Chains A and B, each alone.
Chain A
Amino acid sequence: MSETGIGARLVRKEDHRFITGKGRYTDDINLPGQAHAYFVRSPHAHAEIKKVDTAKAAKAPGVLCVLTGDDAAKDGVGGLICGWMIHSKDGSPMKAGPHPVLAQGKVRHVGDQVAVVVARTKAQAKAAAALVNVTYKTLDAVADPAKAQKRGAPKVHDVAANNTVFEWEIGDKAATEAAFAKAAHITSLDLVNNRLAPNAMEPRAAIGSYDAGEDHFTLYTTSQNPHVARLVISAFIGIAPEHKLRVIAPDVGGGFGSKIFIYAEEVVCLWASKRAGGVPVKWVAERSESFLTDAHGRDHVTKAELATDANGKVTGMRVKTIANMGAYLSTFASSVPTYLYATLLSGQYNIPNIYAEVDAVYTNTTPVDAYRGAGRPEATYVVERLMETAARELGEDPAEFRRKNFITEFPHQTPVIMCYDAGDYGASLDKALELIDYKGFDKRKAAAAKKGKLRGIGFSNYIEACGIAPSAAVGSLGAGVGLWESAEVRVNPVGTVEILTGSHSHGQGHETTFAQLVSDRLGIDASQVSIVHGDTDKVQFGMGTYGSRSGAVGMTAISKALDKIEAKAKKVAAHVMEASESDVEFKNGTFSVKGTDKKMAFGEVALAAYVAHKFPTSEVEPGLKEGAFHDPSNFTFPAGCHVCELEVDADTGVVEVVDWVAVDDFGNIINPMIVEGQVHGGIAQGVGQALTEGVVYDDSGQLLTGSYMDYCMPRADNLPTLRLGFTKTECPSNPLGIKGCGEAGAIAAPAALMNALTNALGVKDVPMPATPQTVWKAMAHMREAAE
């Protein structure tokens, strides 16, 4: 164990470049001779394209080329794909409509890309784009998922009757119906999980560069998973074979899921570079384009019911959800409202019978895909709103009602696929109750009332499945690939270490935490370790970062490679110290020979691995470099208890979050400072969903929230100081005993806040986001009672 090892609150190694303005994001990179792309986008939600006239634009100053969907078709540029096959109840495969990189024949949402102009400067490209004359025949549009399947609704894709992508189910319907028939009480809620725009602060960007001499492409892109981008762009879109395509994701300014996906713009930049004769082509999204084209999150309409027996034990859950997919199926869109959602509907509770139906629908809106939490916030919202409401209806304390339904024995097989491996839900609840001073709530409520404020308290006992994804499990569920991770450990002759990882860091701090693991294992300081990631030429392959997988999956791959390094180094040490390998021990960075005073520091063995003579190469080769792939055996299941206390101004409907306690079980923690930061950020996004954020389309499919003027991002004064606590059960399915922490806050927070708000107002439900206007409307019953 070193001072910079596992558990240390080590200040981040990557910070120096960011705080000095030396970060290197895609838009900071400029290639010699670079041109700029500007996209012509549809102003209509739904229209036939009658004609795209590019003649004027092509002659405008500085223009190198103008490309349309017809050009893409001629050049054989393939369409974008969705990588997870979902089958409907009747066994039929999901109905995936075509998703060309530039629209062909039809546009299906406002912002759909119709043409691209490449010009010497961005201003020239933008000016010329205004000269592209597109003749549209507008069609009726549908934006509301609840209306998409209605008779006579406008049809988004010919292949999808009633705009239905799939009608999927999970669980035992008959057993669940029987449980409801016998129920002593049924709690029912109609819930809308509001549509969100992810809004990483760095807008998406890409530079495509074609080298005619080598017939080779390079793509700089804001990606969370550059290798997956290369695989898809190569194998499915057909731009170039993988060895002729290098994808680099340099510093990336936040992702939250939105930068997992393979988008049209990056493909077009590559293709356009070749069409423009090898001139590098750069595109940087304006924030208004981000709102129109970055895949959105959530957007569920759900009817949820909970059956309880006479003792207040939950006996069944029934859920029907309509999930909005938008106008096209984005890269992982189909997995989000199915296997990442309904498989978590058991929450932390022993629920013997669950049945869920999910209809995924097309609408004339921006595609919807994974956004921080991806399905699990939606599941937690359903479960925790139901639990809180049921407790209130049964006259039970919401904390104790939860406790009596907790799962307490592990492993626990839920009725919806997941097998929870470890947890102690009572421990996190107890700690949260203590931190929030639950017993003192009535006093605080009374004090608030004196100030004219309505105070409420709400719980969210979330669980999530992360460390996506065990290939055996997800392969059988339709995933195109198993989501393992790779690692390579290169020990230099001087004993410093380079870790090559398929994970990608865009704020998570891998350069620090991964180095801490190496420091811990090899007994060297973390400063002696560098992390290489985000470049397909440097790292052979990887699956990237999302679903809180980089610790549990990515670090486990590193750990396995370190096992091999240790084994190899022992052989080297044995050779140099002329000892039997079985007598060599490695501890605290030193190799020693049992029963002797012979020893070598790790750095000395590293040097010997490269410079020692007379290696018996049949037993040990020179060099110290090892690789490993890790395919997890199960998901990991972080869980915890968040408690929100808030006050509502009865006159204005303004909600102030006054206290927040989060107690999380993430198993072993590598760097508490970084983990706390992840929780803070997640909670802020959850509070944003509950209080301020919501993507709004009008009935014609026009986006009404297209900038920060209309889409309200949470600010510093929307949040209180957050109070965190931790409990620990180690994850048994990886050697580090770690879980995942990146999404927990965003998963837990909306339900905690809305439970607190409905508690304060004494109402069953308030729609998110609970803006002052919405809250004021929800207080109508109080005003009526007062009159």
Chain B
Amino acid sequence: MPAISMTVNGEKVCGEVEGRTLLVEFIRNTLGKTGTHVGCDTSQCGACVVHVDGKAVKSCTALAIACDGADVVTIEGIAKDGKLHPMQEAFRENHGLQCGFCTPGMIMSGIDIVKRKGKKLKEETIREELEGNICRCTGYHNIVKAIQAGAAKM
């Protein structure tokens, strides 16, 4: 099996993968970082969103081998020195989560939206940009508020 290496949350990691191993499988099974979730088979739900070389990627759609040498950030890697990322804090403050399963993907997508669209986000923009993330609990109401608030503090 081919060996790959990448940086995950600032740490050099390596492992053997099959050609078909998905990035999310490598992150969850090989690295044991289980904050990144799988909610569907068809790349619609967005529970698996991570950042690869600074961009939001659905890790159920990327092959691990294709990410050889990449810089990957997962939900476990965004708090710095024990301090929550403003987007994490905003989800808590605004009750932007209930069961928590879609939450890591939502937070990673939220950060990505800010990177692309700036810190002053209109509600309409956020709703449109969340097309690739499904939540079944919150009705999105508080997720939209959380991303807006988190964006302003980033």
Residues of A within 8 A of B (CB): 11-12, 14-25, 27-28, 123, 199-203, 251-254, 256, 286-288, 506-509, 673-674, 676-677, 680-685, 707-709, 713, 715-717, 719, 721-722, 745
Contact = CB atoms under 8 A, between A and B. Distances in A.
Contacts of B127: 715-717, 719
Contact of A19 (B34, B36, B107, B130): B107
B87 to A, nearest CB: 9
Contact of A507 (B47, B99, B104, B142): B99
B39 A15 contact: no
A15 B97 contact: yes
B136 A254 contact: yes
B136 A200 contact: yes
B140 A508 contact: no
A677 B138 contact: yes
A656 B28 CA distance: 39
A562 B70 CA distance: 55
Contacts of A21: 33-36, 74-76, 104
11 contacts: A19-B75, A19-B88, A21-B36, A201-B135, A203-B38, A253-B39, A677-B138, A681-B137, A684-B140, A715-B127, A719-B140
A254 B40 CA distance: 14
Contacts of A506: 99
Given A12-B95, A15-B92, 4 more contacts: A19-B84, A715-B127, A715-B130, A716-B143
B111 interface: no
A221 B84 CA distance: 30
B137 to A, nearest CB: 5
B13 interface: no
Nearest to A287: B40
B49 to A, nearest CB: 12
Given A203-B39, A717-B130, A253 B100 contact: yes
A337 to B, nearest CB: 23
B75 to A, nearest CB: 4
Given A19-B103, A200-B99, A683 B139 contact: yes
Contact of B137 (A25, A28, A507, A676): A507
Interface core residue of B37, B40, B93, B137 (most chain A CB under 10 Å): B137
Contact of A12 (B79, B92, B144): B92
Contacts, number: 175
B98 interface: yes
B101 A253 contact: yes
Interface in B24-54: 28, 33-42, 44-45, 47
A7 B73 CA distance: 39
B68 to A, nearest CB: 20
A721 B141 contact: yes
A254 B101 CA distance: 8
Contact of B92 (A16, A25, A200, A722): A16
Given A20-B88, A21-B76, A23-B35, A681 B41 contact: no
A201 B91 contact: no
Contacts of B36: 21
A252 B144 contact: no
A12 B138 CA distance: 14
A20 B79 contact: yes
B37 A202 contact: yes
B136 A18 contact: no
B34 to A, nearest CB: 4
Q: Which 7 A-B pairs have the closest CB atoms?
A: A21-B35, A253-B101, A18-B100, A684-B139, A507-B99, A507-B98, A680-B139
A11 B137 CA distance: 17
Interface string B118-143: 00000100111011011111111111
B102 interface: yes
Given A201-B47, A673-B95, A745-B139, A25 B37 contact: yes
Nearest to B134: A713
Nearest to B77: A21
A202 B84 contact: no
Contacts of B33: 21
A674 B37 contact: no
B74 A509 contact: no
Contacts of B28: 28
B93 to A, nearest CB: 6
Interface core residue of A24, A28, A200, A716 (most chain B CB under 10 Å): A716
A715 B84 contact: no
A18 B104 CA distance: 7
A17 B92 CA distance: 11
Interface in B65-96: 74-76, 79, 84, 88, 91-93, 95
Contacts of B40: 287, 707-708
Interface core residue of B18, B126, B138 (most chain A CB under 10 Å): B138
A25 B131 CA distance: 25
Contacts of A18: 97, 100, 103-104
Given A11-B92, A684-B140, A716-B127, A20 B76 contact: yes
A708 B139 contact: no
B136 to A, nearest CB: 5
A685 to B, nearest CB: 7
A638 B79 CA distance: 41
A254 B139 CA distance: 13
Nearest to B90: A19
Contact of A252 (B38, B92, B99, B131): B99
A371 to B, nearest CB: 12
Contact of B99 (A254, A682, A716): A254
B138 to A, nearest CB: 5
A646 to B, nearest CB: 16
A275 to B, nearest CB: 25
Given A21-B35, A716-B126, A709 B98 contact: no
Contacts of A680: 138-142
Nearest to A200: B136
A164 B45 CA distance: 38
A548 to B, nearest CB: 14
A23 B103 CA distance: 10
A201 B136 contact: yes
A209 B142 CA distance: 39
B84 A20 contact: yes
